[in-house]
Amino acid sequence: MKNGICPYPGLRPFTEEESIFFKGRDLHIRQIVKLLEQNKMAFITGASGDGKSSMVYAGVVPYIRAGFSKAEFNSWLVFDFKPQRNPLASLARSAADELQFSYHDTLNKMRRGFSALVNIYKESEFYIKNGSDAKNRGKNLLIIADQFEEVFTMNENFHDGTPSIDAYTCVNILLETVRLSITENLPIYVIFTMRSDYISQCTVFKDLPEFIAYSQFFVPQLKRTEIRQVIEQPALLAGGSVSTRLTEVLINNLNSGFDQLPVLQHALNLLWKTADNGSKTLDLLHLAKIAGIHKDMLDNSERKEFDRWFATVPYYQKKYFDKPDLNNVLNAHAGTLFESAYDYFMHNANWAEKSITPDESKQIVETAFKTLTKIDNNRQVRNRATLHEITGIINKPNITEATVCGVLNIFRDENNTLLRPFAMHDNIETQYLSGDTILDVTHEALIRNWRLLSHWDHEELENLNEYNDFSSQMQRWIDNNRSPEFLLSTGNYAIFKQWYDRCRPNQYWLLKHDNSQRPVREKLNAAASRMEKCNDFMQQSNAAILAAEQSRRRKIAATIVALLIFIAGLLMFSLWAMSEKRNADLARKDAEKQKNAAIVQKTIAEQLNDIATQQQHRAEAANTIANQQRDSARLMYNQAIAAKLESDRARQQAEQARREADLARKNAEDNYLLAQQQRDSADLQRRKALEANDNAARLYYVALCNALSMKAKNQYEDKTLNLRLAKTACDMNHKGGGDNKKNADLYDAMLFAMEQNNIISPIDIQDSPVKSFAIDPAGHIVAISEDGLITKLRITPSGGAEPMSSPTPLGSADNKTPIESAVFITPTLVASSSKDRRSYLTDIATNTQAQIPGADDYIYAASSSPDGDRCAIAYINGRVIVMPTDITNANAAPLAETIFTSKVTDLYFHDDANIYVLCLDGNLLKWNFKTNSITNVLTPNSRQMTFKMAAIPAKKLLAVCYSDGTMQFVKLDNDQKANRIVGGHSKLENLIYDPNTGILALSSADKRISLINTNDVNEKPLVIEEHSLDNHKVKCMGFNNKGVLFALTDDNKLRLWDTDPGTYADALASMNLSPLSDSEWNHYLGREFSKK
Amino acid sequence: MFINLYNRKFTIFLAAVSDDMKDIRQELAEVLVNAGIGIADGKSLPSAQAKAAIQAADCSVHILGDEDIYTLGAIGYNSPAGEQFRIARKLCSEQFKMFVWCPYADTAARKSYINNIRRDIVENTVYSDKPSSIIFVEDIRNIMNVKQSENRRHVPTDIFFLYNELDNDTASGICNMLRDFLGVQKLGISMSSDVDYNAFISEQLADSKVGIVYFNYAGDWAVSFARQIWKDTGGSSSQTPLAVFGNSDHATQDDLAVLKDFMECNVDDQLRIPLDIKVFLDKQLQK
């Protein structure tokens, strides 16, 4: 099937072409077809949004076309109509188109009612009464009267409880057609679909109630199983899928009642697109992304993905995620389109002039949707309107029909389909609409679920109520010959002015609310006339109010002016009198003042005359002195000028000298720095050269060491030669500065040489095969044999072992049963199983023993708690128990126990509550024995097995060995994986960690032991090779407190090695071994390597 | 009959619950009895007997209580309610129906715990948060009364050949030619027949390697018919590929354009149609 076909149509009904995805109504479709076969008609009623239209177009029609119903002819002619504003005209247009007659003839014939439609069908080429090929050429006729409630909701069809003549005729024809089809057995079938809340109004049509009762189908609410089909089947048909959990969430979150299906279909449509057009399984994450559920419903990884995606969501869209819900999906979608309509318009409508602001874009959408909806008997319903009418209501010079169309296109876009007709991306004609195109809300579910639209509707209702009030006052004014007495009072005018400015009514707005049955043109003219009157009423009311106000103001002003004039006259007279008196007083005072002043001035003049004479004498003396001082100053000035010129010259010379000195100093400094740099560089080069020389020398010695090590691992007749070669290799390594601990070849060579000379040799422990051993704090070996005997051995200075006492039975002397397994929990505490499947805990120090109750299999592994009070014991059958280590309490029931499905190969008692459990199938589990919960810590990538693990407390790590030779480190503080290293070349079988040296010893199936330094796991490990184990496999291992590794091999011998190669190097140095002669040197290393 | 009489008798295993749900469990038990549903009581059954009782029942119902007993690793994990929940959940993979009911989620902790359960819903598990026990039991009865398809007479074959009775002559000719080397079941659709074609075709197609819709004169019918059976037999998820072949004397390729996104369709010379069908079959068998 072609990819990308969305099997969910969204808010619009399924079309006949989409019938292939229409599921959930199979039973109902068959029931309707049965009604049609029996009764020739089906009156389908149901609640708004329960899918009546989809059931007919995508269910019944394809079903009968496919031949699944009984009918006279093989083919079907289906025509449908919606009553709209003229049911008869709609029926006639549809019938004329399908039956191939002219519309006007058909309409004229239909105006006669009754058998008109049957006659037209009989006259058509599709009704063939007789003839051999009648069945082939003839066509059965199916008439679908869809949304029949429009007969009642459209005011043109039904007003004041009375149907229009055309509506009545239309119903008459349809009912007569059914009647004739029954009586004459004609292949004509009629389907009505109607909202059930209008059923009571059907009584206004004669006979219609009887026909409804005769063949009604009330669309049932979908059952849970059917809703599941609606959700899941279309996706399956289209090659996609829906997760079970999403289906369950959708079913449970779906509100019962109105709009169940449209809300669900719309959400599914968005889900499909969100899930990359069905290429992913539709799931909860996608529902969260369309604001259908809260992100808390998602798991952690999905929630992170959601958060990443949400950060990219535009700010205006985020508010819709505050209260996510299935019903909110449609609200969020419509709200987002409302917010982005402006951008869509600017980017897409290339044919429209773009001279609007974002706010105007929102106003266009608001006005359009207010126009396309109305409240009818307290129900929010659709109200079809043309683009021209909407543009008219907006009534702004810069907003044309093209602008309105462009802004609304986002709602008509084929991906959104919230408004009809839909705009197809690949068909420009559907994008640009003419003014007479009727726009319609796709489904009333949008009106009920888009909260903003609901709000607008209620606002519009308030506007209408205000208008009705206004209109009644205006009518009173008109009825009284437009008498000024009936104009609006100031208070009323203020109220209606507010409404007028808010609602901005015009003739198109009045037309929308005109419920009369007149033709639209007539109604528009009446609305224009009414609007003129409204404007006139408002203007005249305003003018009258203004005129009255002005008159009142004029009277007040005149009174105020007269009063002011009187007061001003009085004031002026008083001021004049006062002024005259004041002038007389002033004249008198002036005369006295002038007389006194004349006397004073005369006295002053006489005094001034005396002073002037004195000053004249002083001035003459001062003039003489000033002349003398001026001559002296002129002389000093000339001298100062000369001195200044001299000092300037000297200063310039000094500055020049200083600049030269600075330059010279700077040059000297630069030269000094350069010289220093050259000297440093030379030093560096010299040091590097020396270093390289040293390195070369060291490498030379190390190479000699390695070459000698290789030679030392050969078999020679003179076995001391191995020792001499190994010793020389040690010397070379020492000279080369090599670290013995890091030189695996040298370590192996030393071991080999010592083995050849029996300096290192295996130790026989006892006759009976040893099951297990441990090393006690004193360094003594405690071994347990298969026949249940404990032997304690001391290591002799020569490297041998000698028993410290004769073997004693494990536990009580009367317990002679051979043992199957023995595991040292601590060096002094052993968990063992006898062949007869009884299990014991034995304290080696006191050799006291207690039987563990409830054991039904052999013990395989055990581990002690960090405080030593408890231990965990694993049986071969996967059972793990937690016991006290106190022998006296061992008989009590286990502190905790559980059973693992896989065989448990090792345990690590980590802390007070947690035990790490290693399973043979490669899984590492963590058992919280207090809560009895198990978490998976490690799961192997492939089929790998695990046998042993060891904790490295100092590093807070746990090392787990795998059958492919690798070793995985796990962090104990968070159970996360750390390094994974190669521990050996084949299956890793045993593992032990020495806390004193930090060395991890790993034995592998290829009979080697690797010694890994846990302080640097990337360092090349020392290896105890096959020859050191005499080609035997290791059964178990142990470290003493001096870093000596003990290994029990399958030849029942104990081998030990010091893990510090320095010990062997010192031993070789202390031996009296002759150095290699020149000829030996040349023989084993070649002449090109100088011995010196 | 337009109403469902819900006459299938079945037994539901009523699982044990945590203490806080005991009253609700009792109420549910009474509603189930009133709805005519048999109850297998799992209140005090040990785990071994509980498993047998769940297996013996037709379905089970589990009421989610306050205790977090259904999640691995939680306290109370080993309670009877938790154990029975897990036993039933395992059986879901074997077409066993399990109903999980959560009548309320009043705290944030409980909502979070319920979210965990809802995230882990598996096939054949039905989750409901309807607060009314009656609505919940209605859902149970509806789901458990889904009509099973009747066994009709259909035989395994290579080609299931469908045509309109108008094209009976030419269709028979094609079938006769194909029958020489292939297994063919043919069905002519008659508009005046009482046969429930829909159900029969779905079952016979499932037993055929390919389905062929053929037409000579009945081109209009064939397009509608092919779309309808494509839908009824599972569409893209169907195991049996479908093709439409018609006589080029009475139709063009454009007439079948609406089908081309969903199935193979071709018009050809009448004589070449058997070969076209054979090629189509071979191509499907190679896939």
pLDDT tens string A453-467: 989 988 888 888 899
Q: Which residues of A touch B126 (CB under 8 A)?
A: 224, 248
Tokens matching residue A729: 């290799």
Taking an 8 Å cut-off on Cβ atoms, the answer to whether B121 and A931 are in contact is no
pLDDT of residue A578 exceeding 80, the answer is yes
Distance (Å, whole) CA A782 – CA A844: 9
Q: Sorting pLDDT into bands at 50, 70 and 90, what band is B73? A: very low
B220 touches chain A (CB under 8 A): yes
**Final residue belonging to a domain, choices B100, B116, B144:** B144
pLDDT for the residue numbered A304: 94
Residue B278 and residue B248 in contact, taking contact as beta carbons nearer than 8 Å: no
Within a domain: B200: yes
Contacts of B193 in chain A (CB under 8 A): 70
Of A476-490, A938-952, A973-987, B258-272, where does mean pLDDT reach its minimum? Answer: A938-952
Residue B200 at interface with chain A, using a CB cutoff of 8 Å? no
Q: Is the pLDDT of residue B75 over 60?
A: no
Check whether residue B138 and residue B218 sit in a common domain: no
A73 touching B (Cβ < 8 Å)? yes
Please give the average per-residue pLDDT across B237-256, as a whole number. Answer: 89
- Chain B interface includes A68 (CB < 8 A): yes
Question: What is the enclosing helix (H) or strand (E) of A941?
Answer: none
Whether B108 and B204 share a structural domain: no
Q: How far apart are CA A414 and CA A184, in angstroms?
A: 45
Is the pLDDT at A152 greater than 80, yes or no?
Answer: yes
pLDDT average, residue stretch A69-80: 89
Per residue in B119-151, pLDDT (tens digit) is 888 888 999 988 889 989 989 998 888 766 555
* Residue A45: strand pairing partners: A194, A218
A-proximal residues of B, 47-86, CB under 8 Å: 72-75, 77-78
Please check whether residue B150 lies inside any domain of the structure: no
Q: Tell me, what's the pLDDT at A61?
A: 95
Nearest by Cα to A734 from A711, A703, A712, A701: A701
Complete domains list, chain A, with CATH? 25-221 (3.40.50.300), 229-324 (no CATH), 771-939 (2.130.10.10), 949-1034+1042-1059 (2.40.128.630)
Distance (Å, rounded) from C-alpha A91 to C-alpha A103? 10
B143/A225 Cβ within 8 A: yes
Nearest CB neighbour to B119, from listed A21, A136, A245: A245
Q: How far B36 CA lies from chain A's nearest CA (Å)?
A: 19
Average of per-residue pLDDT across B263-281: 91
Give the pLDDT band (50/70/90) at residue B246. very high
B198 vs A420, more confident: A420
Which among B144, B174, B205 is the end of a domain?
Answer: B144
Instruction: Report CB contact under 8 Å: A224, B235.
Output: no
Q: Are residues B114 and B166 in the same domain?
A: no
Mean pLDDT over A111-118 rounds to 92
- Is residue B191 domain-shared with residue B221, that is, in the same domain? yes
Nearest-CA distance from B138 to chain A in Å? 9
The residue-averaged pLDDT of A577-590 equals 83
User: Could you tell me if A71 lies within 8 Å of chain B, comparing CB atoms?
Assistant: yes
DSSP A494-559: HHHHHHHHHH---HHHHHHT--S-S-HHHHHHHHHHHHHHHHHHHHHHHHHHHHHHHHHHHHHHHH
B149 assigned to some structural domain = no
On whether both B18 and B135 belong to a single domain, the answer is yes
Q: Are residues B86 and B20 in the same domain?
A: yes
What are the tens digits of pLDDT across the range A434-452? 999 999 999 989 998 999 9
Supply the ipTM of this predicted assembly: 0.81
Average pLDDT, chain B: 86
Q: What is the mean pLDDT of chain A?
A: 87
Chain B CB contacts of A142 under 8 Å are none
Residue B99 CA to residue B84 CA, distance in Å, equals 12
Q: Check pLDDT > 60 for residue A86.
A: yes
A residues 219..278 contacting B (CB < 8 A): 223-225, 236-239, 244-245, 248-249, 252
Q: What chain A residue is nearest to B225 in terms of C-alpha separation?
A: A66
Q: What number of C-beta contacts closer than 8 Å exist between A and B? A: 134
**Do B76 and B179 lie in a common domain?**
no
Contact A833, A858 (CB under 8 A): yes
Mean pLDDT of A236-260: 88
Instruction: Name the residue in chain B with its Cα closest to that of A73.
Output: B191
List the structure tokens of A235: 């996706």
Neighboring chain B residues of A225 at a CB cutoff of 8 Å: 142-143, 146
Residue A132 near chain B (CB below 8 Å): no
Helices (H) and strands (E) in chain B, counts: 9, 10
Instruction: Provide the whole-model pTM.
Output: 0.59
Distance of alpha carbon A761 from alpha carbon A1030, whole angstroms: 10
Per-residue confidence band for B77, with pLDDT thresholds at 50, 70 and 90: low
Question: Nearest CA to CA, how far is B190 from chain A (Å)?
Answer: 7
User: Which of A75, A77, A135, A232 should one mutate to test binding to chain B, selecting the residue with the greatest count of B CBs within 10 A?
Assistant: A75
pLDDT in tens, A822-838: 999 988 889 988 888 88
Between CA B13 and CA B20, with CA B16 as vertex, the angle to 5 degrees is 135
Confidence of residue A642 (pLDDT cuts 50, 70, 90): confident
Higher per-residue confidence, A371 vs A846: A371
Tens of pLDDT, residue by residue over A168-216, are 999 999 999 999 999 999 999 999 999 998 999 999 998 899 999 999 9
Contacts of B211 in chain A (CB under 8 A): none
Among left, alpha and beta (phi > 0; psi -120 to 50; other), residue A413 is beta
Residues A442, A419 contacting (CB under 8 angstroms): yes
Taking alpha carbons only, the member of A797, A712, A784 closest to residue A755 is A712
Contacts of B134 in chain A (CB under 8 A): none
Assign A736 to helix, strand or coil.
coil
A897: which strand partners?
A881
pLDDT at A709 over 50: yes
Winning range, highest mean pLDDT, from A331-335, A492-496, B140-144, B165-169:
A331-335
On the question of pLDDT at A1083 being above 80, the answer is yes
pLDDT band at A1071 (very low <50, low <70, confident <90, very high): confident
pLDDT for the residue numbered B64: 86
Give the pLDDT confidence score for residue A159 in this predicted structure: 84
A665-696 pLDDT, tens digit each = 888 888 888 888 888 988 888 888 888 888 88
- B57 falls in which pLDDT band (50, 70, 90)? very high
What pLDDT score does B109 carry?
A: 78
Q: Could you give the CA distance from residue A50 to residue A258 in angstroms, rounded to a whole number? A: 7
Chain B residues with CB inside 8 Å of A67's CB? Answer: 164, 189-191, 197, 221, 224-225
Last residue of a domain, one of B144, B167, B187: B144
Residue numbers in A near B118 (CB within 8 A)? 245, 248-249, 297
Residue to substitute from A237, A255, A284, A929, interface B, most B β-carbons within 10 A: A237
AA identity, residue A969: F
Residue type, A544: A
C-alpha B159/C-alpha A320 separation (Å) is 54
The pLDDT-based confidence of A433 (bands split at 50, 70, 90) is very high
The gap between the terminal CA atoms of chain B, to the nearest Å, is 44
Q: Do residues A927 and A898 lie in contact, with contact meaning Cβ atoms separated by under 8 Å?
A: yes
Closest residue to B123, CB basis, from A224, A244, A299 = A244
Inter-chain touch A933–B217, beta carbons under 8 Å: no
Residues B85 and B201 in one domain: no
> First vs last Cα of chain A: how many Å apart?
85
* Strand order from edge to edge, sheet including B157-164: B184-189, B157-164, B208-215, B242-247, B264-268
Provide, as residue numbers in chain A, all residues whose Cβ is less than 8 Å from the Cβ of B112: 296
Give pLDDT, residue B153. 62
- B151 in a domain, yes or no? no
Judge: A297–B142 Cβ closer than 8 Å, yes or no: no
Q: Output the CA angle A196-A201-A204, nearest 5 degrees.
A: 140
Interface of A with B in 292-331 (CB under 8 A): 296-299
| Yes or no, beta carbons of B234 and A237 under 8 Å apart | yes
Q: Does B224 touch chain A (CB under 8 A)?
A: yes
Tell me which residue of A1030, A942, A1034, A939 sits closest to A984, measured CA to CA. Answer: A1034
Q: What is the pLDDT of residues A405-416, one digit of tens each?
A: 999 999 999 999
Tokens at A964, concatenated: 């492919």
A27, A72 Cβ separation under 8 angstroms: no
pLDDT score of B185 more than 60: yes
Given a cut of 90, whether residue A276 has pLDDT beyond it is yes
Question: In B, residues 6-45, which contact A (CB 8 Å cutoff)?
Answer: none
Confidence of residue B67 (pLDDT cuts 50, 70, 90): low
CATH number, domain containing residue B123: 3.40.50.10140
Judge if B220 and B181 occupy the same domain: yes
The answer on B161 and B118 residing in a single domain is: no
* B114 within some domain: yes
- Which pLDDT does position A1092 carry in this prediction? 62
pLDDT of residue A645: 85
Least confident range from A1013-1027, B140-154, B181-195: namely B140-154
Mean pLDDT of A912-934: 89
Provide, as residue numbers in chain A, all residues whose Cβ is less than 8 Å from the Cβ of B77. 932-933
Is residue B80 located within the same domain as residue B136?
yes
pLDDT band at B54 (very low <50, low <70, confident <90, very high): very high
Average pLDDT over every residue of A147-175? 90
CA-based nearest distance B63→chain A, Å: 16
Q: Band the pLDDT of A4: cuts 50, 70, 90.
A: low
* B122, B221, B236 ranked by CB distance to A74: nearest: B221
Check residue A738 and give its pLDDT. 75
Alpha-carbon gap, residue A26 to A42, rounded angstroms = 16
**Whether B196 and B242 share a structural domain:** yes
Domain range for residue B88? 11-144
Q: Which residues of A touch B231 (CB under 8 A)?
A: 19-23, 237
Stretch 921-950 of chain A: residues touching chain B, C-beta under 8 Å = 928, 931-935
Contact B221 A65 (CB under 8 A): yes
The count of structural domains within chain B is 2
